[in-house]
């Protein structure tokens, strides 16, 4: 038995000098090097393309920003000016940005409940034989070109939607967004929102369905073993677990809705006045502005369109960035 301290042999002699941290390296194999080169170049290619697009747009539009400054974003007019009368060109896409937001929000509000419902149906309610065909059909929806949605929206949906809009105005007209400055219901943000909403259903559904299908089985079983019904199980287990996926899907859908071009061009009346009366025939979004003006514009207006493109580019990046944040924030809870 050891009784006194000095009979202990010290196992370590710590001099107090902290050695330099060693570099931790390994010599990669040749095959690893090749593979690494391939994936690295792949990864960088997309970064470079993204950078080049931003650079191109910035260079092309710099004169526009220099001339109008912040007014380009907050202004509500679009005129080339008139060389004869000497009226200056005025470009401001404020109304288009508002239109982008309004239409995407309407689209999201329509698409989100339908998508979450569809995903829940496919995962938890549909009979086995229906699951696969339903999934394939929804994925197919994503493959339909947006011009088709636009045409369908214009010719088929619009007459019905005008009727719904009239009902909304009649019974809920006291709510500011359902007021009508004058009785024109065609090509309104409401109709554009429905079209965009239908267009983004597949992507939101696909993502939520995927996340819902990853809910840990032991939690599902724990809920059922406590006498849960399907719906109470979904509320207690599936939705908290899937919340981040739903948020991520919604943001992706939002990004897609904001960039939507041709369909909006067909079903929305382009007007450079900010319009929050969603049933009224006036609106526009940045992307549809660009297609509608691109063919006939020259010189300075063309540059203004590039500037609009740059703004859209930045806003879309911001939304993506934000969606990442939201997904991470919500993912921490509920898992």
Partner 1 sequence: MVEINSKIEPAQTNEIQSEPRSKSRQENKMQETNQVASLASVAAQTSRAINKFTPGSGFETKNVHAWFGKHHALADVSLEFPSNTVTALIGPSGCGKTTFLRTLNRMHEFIPGAAMAGQVILDGQDIYEPGTDVTKIRLKIGMVFQKPNPFPSMTIGENVLSGLRLAQLKRSNKEELMEECLTRAGLWNEVKDRLGAHGGSLSGGQQQRLCIARALAVKPEVLLMDEPCSALDPGSTLRIEETIRQLAGSIIVVIVTHNMQQAARISDYTGFFLSDGGPGQLIEVGTTNEIFSQPKDKRTEDYITGRFG
Q: Which residues bind partner 1 (CB under 8 A)?
A: 128, 216, 218-219, 221-229, 232-233, 236-237, 240-241, 333-335
Q: How far apart are CA 107 and CA 156, in angstroms?
A: 18
- Measured N-to-C along each axis, helices 189-212 and 239-259 cross at an angle, to the nearest 10 degrees, of 140
Q: Is 52 exposed, middle or buried (0-12, 13-18, 19+ CB in 10 A)?
A: exposed
Q: What's the min distance (Å) between Cβ of 334 and partner 1?
A: 4
Q: What's the min distance (Å) between Cβ of 229 and partner 1?
A: 6
* SS3 sequence of 51-64: HHHHHHHHHHHHHH
Q: What's the min distance (Å) between Cβ of 227 and partner 1?
A: 4
Q: Which is nearer to partner 1, 125 or 321 (CB)?
A: 125
For residue 230, the tally of other CB atoms under 10 A from its CB is 13
Q: Which is nearer to partner 1, 125 or 171 (CB)?
A: 125
Map residue 82 onto helix, strand or coil: strand
Q: Which is nearer to partner 1, 233 or 305 (CB)?
A: 233
Q: What's the min distance (Å) between Cβ of 223 and partner 1?
A: 5
Q: Which is nearer to partner 1, 212 or 241 (CB)?
A: 241
Q: How far apart are CA 84 and CA 295, in angstroms?
A: 23
Q: Which is nearer to partner 1, 153 or 242 (CB)?
A: 242
Q: What's the min distance (Å) between Cβ of 250 and partner 1?
A: 19
Q: Which is nearer to partner 1, 160 or 333 (CB)?
A: 333
Beta bridge partners of 82: 87
Q: Cβ distance 310 to 57 under 8 Å?
A: yes
Q: Is 200 exposed, middle or buried (0-12, 13-18, 19+ CB in 10 A)?
A: buried
Q: What's the min distance (Å) between Cβ of 226 and partner 1?
A: 4
Q: How far apart are CA 302 and CA 115, in angstroms?
A: 38
* Local structure of residue 177 (DSSP, 8 states): G
The CA dihedral of 252, 257, 258, 260, to the nearest 10 degrees, is 130
Q: How far apart are CA 147 and CA 265, in angstroms?
A: 9
Selection from 267, 256, 249, 278 nearest residue 113 by Cα: 249
Q: What's the min distance (Å) between Cβ of 10 and partner 1?
A: 34
Q: Which is nearer to partner 1, 17 or 217 (CB)?
A: 217
């Amino acid at each position: 038995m050891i009784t006194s301290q000095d009979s202990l042999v010290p196992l370590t002699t710590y001099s107090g000098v902290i050695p330099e941290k060693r570099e931790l390296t390994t010599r990669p194999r040749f095959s690893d090097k090749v593979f690494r080169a391939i994936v690295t170049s792949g990864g960088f290619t997309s970064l470079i393309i993204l950078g080049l697009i931003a650079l191109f747009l910035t260079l092309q539009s710099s004169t526009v920003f220099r001339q109008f400054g912040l007014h380009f974003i907050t202004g509500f007019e679009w005129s080339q000016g008139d060389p004869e009368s000497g009226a200056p060109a005025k470009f401001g896409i404020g109304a288009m940005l508002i239109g982008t937001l309004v239409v995407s929000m309407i689209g999201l509000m329509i698409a989100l409940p339908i998508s979450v419902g569809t995903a829940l149906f496919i995962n938890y309610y549909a009979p086995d034989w229906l699951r696969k065909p339903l999934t394939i059909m929804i994925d197919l929806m994503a493959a339909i070109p947006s011009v088709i949605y636009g045409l369908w929206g214009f010719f088929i949906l619009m007459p019905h939607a005008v009727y719904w809009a009239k009902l909304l105005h009649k019974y809920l007209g006291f709510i500011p967004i359902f007021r009508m400055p004058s009785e024109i219901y065609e090509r309104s943000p409401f109709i554009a929102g429905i079209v965009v909403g239908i267009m983004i259903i597949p992507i939101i559904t696909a993502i939520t369905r995927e996340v819902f299908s990853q809910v840990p089985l032991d939690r599902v079983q724990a809920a059922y073993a406590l006498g849960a019904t399907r719906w109470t199980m979904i509320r207690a287990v599936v939705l908290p677990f899937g919340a981040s996926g739903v948020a991520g899907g919604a943001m992706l859908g939002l990004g897609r809705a904001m960039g939507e071009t041709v369909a909006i061009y067909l079903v929305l009346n382009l007007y450079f006045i900010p319009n929050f009366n969603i049933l009224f025939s006036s609106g526009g979004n940045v992307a549809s502005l660009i297609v509608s003006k691109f063919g006939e514009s020259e010189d300075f207006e063309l540059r203004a369109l590039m500037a609009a493109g740059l703004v859209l580019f930045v806003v879309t990046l911001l939304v993506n960035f934000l969606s990442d944040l939201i997904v991470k924030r919500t993912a921490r809870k509920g898992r």
